[in-house]
Amino acid sequence: MAFLQGLAHGAYEVASSPVQFRDSTVVYGLSASIIFASLMLSSIFKARVYELFTHSHRVCALGLIFATWRHIYNKSALSIWCIAAAAAVYAATFLIQVLRIAVRNLAFSRGAECLINYQGNNLEVIVFPARPWTVRAGERVNLSIPSAGLMSAFKMHPFVITRWDNNELGEMESFTLLVKPCSGFTNKLKMLSSTRHRAWIDGPYGPDRGMRTPISDYGHIFMVATGIGIGAQTPYIKQLLEGYRRGVSENYKLLAYEHFRVRIFDPSLRSSQDSHDVGQHELIKIWGGNVDWREEPREEVQKQVGNMLITGTAEFPSK
């Protein structure tokens, strides 16, 4: 919305009078527009180069504030007050976030800790929060581990909660994050020993508010995932299974054991029309080659039972 408002403002100014590039007000206004556009476009690369994204985002944000302030410096007093009010709101929200992180991670008995385990080529980060909460499928947290490096203590990296464990009283004891080491922060995690480390978490955030209908109300769910993206799907499967045991889920296609099917496509194997069964139940099958993304959904639609939900998570490394 702010980008559209700025675009409309710029179009009006250009149409109403000739553009004078010698005017500092025009130069700063144009600079603010370019920086704003850069902020919008940089989000495209967030998942692939997270470290670079965070640094460039901060620099652009500070540059946008300065350019906007200089653009309206000689304008009316109302413009100055608007900038001051925006800065005050930002400072207040930042303070609230800091207090929230402190409350989430500090308790009288202990602080938040984490344990890092190797799972093949990936890492399993088990977090023991100082103040547990009731986890919902689709939630994510921002994680910082000071022992990973000096700068890591001041950075938060987002990860999806893939699993959580409760005690006998039903209270959460720990939750698990699945991490694929790449560069930056995730690569530093490989260097840490398999002992408990001090951790700071911010969150939880989510689940996605765009999914208004509860997942348990669907009669047929088609889940697609690549690589460790399957970790983001498992909480929903757990939620559905728990709902089925409590008798609150309508999803019989997925939850009835004889209808719970897993299909794996391995590009490293020779492409073949014949599948390889895992186990004696014929519910897990492995094919060689790549997935036919047109045929697989079409086949599921033909077998649809009730309302159908299609979910997907791709493997994008967090750095």
pLDDT number for residue 232: 81
The answer to whether residues 248 and 267 belong to one domain is: yes
The mean pLDDT of the chain is 78
pLDDT number for residue 128: 93
pLDDT number for residue 256: 41
Looking at the DSSP bridge assignments, the partners of residue 240 are none
The answer to whether residues 285 and 233 belong to one domain is: yes
Q: Which residues constitute the domain of residue 267? A: 215-313
Residue ending a domain, among 163, 180, 205, is 205
The answer to whether residues 167 and 256 belong to one domain is: no
The answer to whether residues 277 and 221 belong to one domain is: yes
pLDDT number for residue 207: 73
Residues 6+ apart with CB under 8 A from 118: 124, 194
Residue ending a domain, among 55, 75, 95, is 75
The answer to whether residues 186 and 251 belong to one domain is: no
pLDDT number for residue 255: 40
pLDDT number for residue 208: 64
Q: What is the pLDDT of residues 201-211, one digit of tens each?
A: 998 887 765 55
pLDDT number for residue 240: 75
- In angstroms, the CA 264 to CA 227 distance is 11
Low-confidence stretches of the chain (pLDDT < 50) are 251-258, 317-319
- The whole model's pTM is what? 0.70
The answer to whether residues 230 and 182 belong to one domain is: no
- In angstroms, the CA 25 to CA 76 distance is 13
Q: What is the pLDDT of residues 46-80, one digit of tens each?
A: 767 777 777 788 888 888 888 888 887 777 777 77
The domain that holds 198 is classified in CATH as 2.40.30.10
The answer to whether residues 139 and 185 belong to one domain is: yes
Q: How many domains does the chain have?
A: 3
**Residue of 118, 205, 112 whose CA lies nearest to 158:** 205
DSSP per-residue string spanning 168-216: TTS-EEEEEEEE---STHHHHHTTS-SSEEE-EEEEEE-S-TT--S-GG
The answer to whether residues 175 and 223 belong to one domain is: no
- In angstroms, the CA 160 to CA 231 distance is 8
Residue ending a domain, among 205, 224, 247, is 205
- Tell me if 88 is assigned to some domain: no
- Tell me if 94 is assigned to some domain: no
- Tell me if 168 is assigned to some domain: yes
pLDDT number for residue 280: 66
- Tell me if 239 is assigned to some domain: yes
Question: Which long-range contacts link 27-35 to residues 24+ away (Cβ below 8 Å)?
Answer: 28/67, 28/68, 28/70, 28/71, 29/67, 29/71, 31/63, 31/67, 32/6, 32/64, 32/67, 32/68, 32/71, 33/6, 33/7, 35/60, 35/63, 35/64, 35/67
